[in-house]
């Protein structure tokens, strides 16, 4: 495998882990994702992962009008911890060394996040799962992924989604929507395209971290992106 990156941060949506079930886990699919990530790690690429919590709880979207925003976001953080524990165990079943680090103290769930320790784990070949977002409400897991990528000096953010790239409009509602092969951070922000939230996009731009958006439906796409194959959309 001819990887073009030394260290990457993969952001996986929680909904993607649910597969056709739309909630909880599709463990057959999770297993295939872990197998692909393990193959990339085995080639020498250092991998950090942030997982969303949408397969259990989507923060303010699920709590709107019922749960106060701060509580809703904290519930979302707990959902990401559940996902990291599950995915971490699947990695171990595949013989990969994975560590869960949490942005808030949850004794027995994961090690408290520390940048230097995370980089040490990455350099040792361990896959590091970053749970609980940034640890603060009002910030999405997209922002957490960009923050962690900047902290660990990742070469790129791999944004694995349920859609195969960035479009001029929602392709599910507009059949005339055009897919971009490459687009700038400025244009994403100006056109309010649904790549990441504006805070995450601005942080990626300020730290000059390219974002590759691609479909996780085929987990082998992770390997293809790391090897430089032109799939999905590159934001830079």
Class of domain 7-235: alpha beta
Judge whether 25 and 85 are in contact, CB under 8 Å: no
Coil vs helix vs strand at 7:
strand
- What's the DSSP call for residue 133? T
Classify 173 in phi/psi space as left (phi over 0), alpha (psi -120 to 50) or beta: alpha
Question: What is the distance between the alpha carbons of residues 22 and 24, in angstroms, rounded to a whole number?
Answer: 7
For the chain, give every domain's residue range. 7-235
Chain center to CA of 198: 16
How far from 221 is each of 30, 72, 158, 192, 230, CA to CA, in Å? Answer: 14, 33, 10, 26, 10
pTM: 0.93
Full DSSP string of 29-97: HHHHHHHHHHHHHHTT-EEEEEE--TTT--THHHHTTTS-HHHHHHHHHHHHHHHHHHHHHHHHHTT--
Question: Do residues 112 and 105 make contact, with C-beta atoms less than 8 angstroms apart?
Answer: yes
Q: pLDDT of the chain along its 236 residues, tens only? A: 678 999 999 999 998 888 877 788 999 999 999 999 999 999 999 999 999 998 898 777 777 778 899 999 999 999 999 999 999 999 999 999 999 999 999 988 999 999 999 999 999 999 999 999 999 999 999 999 999 999 999 999 999 988 888 898 888 888 888 899 999 999 989 888 878 889 999 999 999 999 999 999 899 999 999 999 999 999 99
């Amino acid at each position: 495998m001819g990887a073009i990156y030394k260290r990457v941060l993969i952001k996986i949506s929680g909904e993607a882990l649910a597969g056709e079930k739309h909630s909880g886990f599709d463990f057959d699919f999770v297993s295939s994702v872990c197998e692909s990530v393990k193959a990339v790690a085995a080639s020498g690429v250092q991998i950090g992962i942030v997982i969303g919590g949408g397969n259990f709880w989507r923060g303010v979207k699920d709590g709107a009008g019922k749960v106060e925003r701060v509580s809703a976001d904290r519930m979302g953080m707990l959902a990401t911890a559940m996902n990291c524990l599950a995915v971490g165990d699947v990695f171990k079943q595949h013989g990969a060394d994975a560590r869960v680090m949490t942005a808030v103290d949850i004794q027995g769930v994961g090690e408290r996040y520390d940048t230097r320790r995370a980089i040490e784990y990455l350099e040792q070949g361990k896959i590091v799962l970053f749970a609980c977002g940034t640890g603060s409400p009002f910030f999405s897991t997209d922002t957490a992924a960009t923050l962690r990528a900047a902290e660990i000096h990742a070469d790129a953010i791999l944004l694995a989604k349920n859609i195969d790239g960035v479009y001029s409009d929602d392709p599910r509602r507009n059949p005339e929507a055009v897919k971009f092969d490459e687009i700038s951070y400025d244009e994403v922000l100006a056109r309010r395209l649904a790549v990441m939230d504006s805070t995450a996009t601005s942080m990626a731009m300020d730290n000059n971290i390219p974002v590759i958006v691609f479909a996780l439906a085929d987990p082998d796409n992770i390997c293809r992106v790391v090897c430089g194959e032109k799939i999905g959309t590159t934001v830079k």
